[in-house]
């Protein structure tokens, strides 16, 4: 790698290349890989076990998946930061870009689209065109109305963003598993927890 530091723009760690190329490199050359089917099937067995354990009370399954995701997110953010060392995002637009192009790429190897910005730029949607969690899945009749199969993703995003001092609400709007056109995850920024930003940052 050349050590030339040209005019630094947005992500300083990737000042010489775009966030996309940087993420691609992190995913390709610096992250250990496993067969995605193993991951998909493991998640499937967790969800189906939860449905049995909660006697098909899908609201509780959704909540449980969300809290499991939260617990993953608060830890996964450290992995993400150690791996990429990206600087703090200065806007929600930047955050959305990092989530779609970098985080989803590194951990799930997909790059969802971002869109549907609210007028005051405090919420956006993530459109999961391909969702590796829900390969091979068909929801049973009784679950089709209530269960958000990939609800763990919402929890992960919520937990991870909270650790970088962004208090967000994350929820599913639609899911192809339920017969919708698109799988859409909505992220809404409530506030930035200014008091909790570690000392030493600008």
Partner 1 sequence: MAIQTILVINKSGGLVYQRDFSASAPRLSSNEYLVLAGTLQGVVAIASQITPKSLQITRKTGSKSGSDANHSSQLVPYVGALGSSAVPAQELGSFMGPDYFNEAFTSWNTTGLKHVTTDQNSLFLYQTLTGVKFVAVSSQSATSTMAVSIAENLLRKAYCLYVDYVMKNPFYEPEMPIKCELFDKRLGELVAQL
Chain residues in the site for partner 1 (CB under 8 A): 1, 3, 5, 7-8, 12-15, 29-33, 74-79, 81-83, 85-88, 163-164, 196, 198-202
Minimum CB distance to partner 1, residue 180 (Å): 34
Q: Which is nearer to partner 1, 31 or 67 (CB)?
A: 31
**Measured from the CB of residue 159, what is the shortest distance to partner 1 in angstroms?**
11
From residue 96, alpha-carbon distances to 19, 49, 52, 56, 126 in Å are 12, 32, 35, 34, 8
Inter-residue contact 116 to 124 (CB < 8 Å): yes
If the CB atoms of residues 73 and 112 are measured against partner 1, the closer one turns out to be: 73
> Minimum distance from CB of 140 to partner 1 (Å)?
30
Let me know: does 111 contact 105? Beta carbons within 8 Å: yes
**Nearer of residues 54 and 107 to partner 1, judged by Cβ:** 107
Q: Minimum distance between the CB of residue 91 and partner 1, rounded to whole angstroms?
A: 15
Is the distance from CB of 13 to CB of 87 less than 8 angstroms? Answer: yes
Contact 172, 182 (CB under 8 A): no
């Amino acid at each position: 790698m050349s050590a030339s530091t040209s005019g630094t723009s947005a992500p300083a760690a990737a000042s010489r290349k775009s966030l996309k190329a940087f993420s691609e490199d992190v995913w390709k050359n610096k992250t250990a890989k496993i067969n995605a089917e193993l991951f998909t099937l493991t998640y499937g067995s967790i969800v189906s076990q939860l449905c049995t354990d909660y006697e098909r009370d899908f609201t509780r399954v959704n909540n449980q998946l969300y809290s499991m995701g939260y617990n993953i997110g608060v830890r996964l953010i450290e992995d993400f930061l150690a791996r990429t060392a990206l600087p703090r995002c200065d806007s929600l637009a930047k955050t959305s870009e990092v989530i779609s192009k970098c985080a989803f790429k590194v951990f799930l190897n997909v790059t969802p689209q971002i869109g549907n910005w609210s007028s005051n730029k405090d919420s956006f949607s993530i459109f999961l065109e391909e969702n590796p969690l829900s390969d091979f899945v068909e929801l049973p009749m009784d679950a089709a109305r209530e269960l958000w199969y990939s609800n763990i993703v919402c929890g992960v995003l919520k937990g991870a963003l909270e650790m970088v001092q962004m208090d967000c609400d994350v929820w599913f709007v639609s899911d192809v598993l339920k017969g919708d056109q698109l799988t859409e995850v909505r992220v809404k920024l409530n506030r930035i927890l200014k008091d909790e930003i570690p000392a030493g940052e600008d």
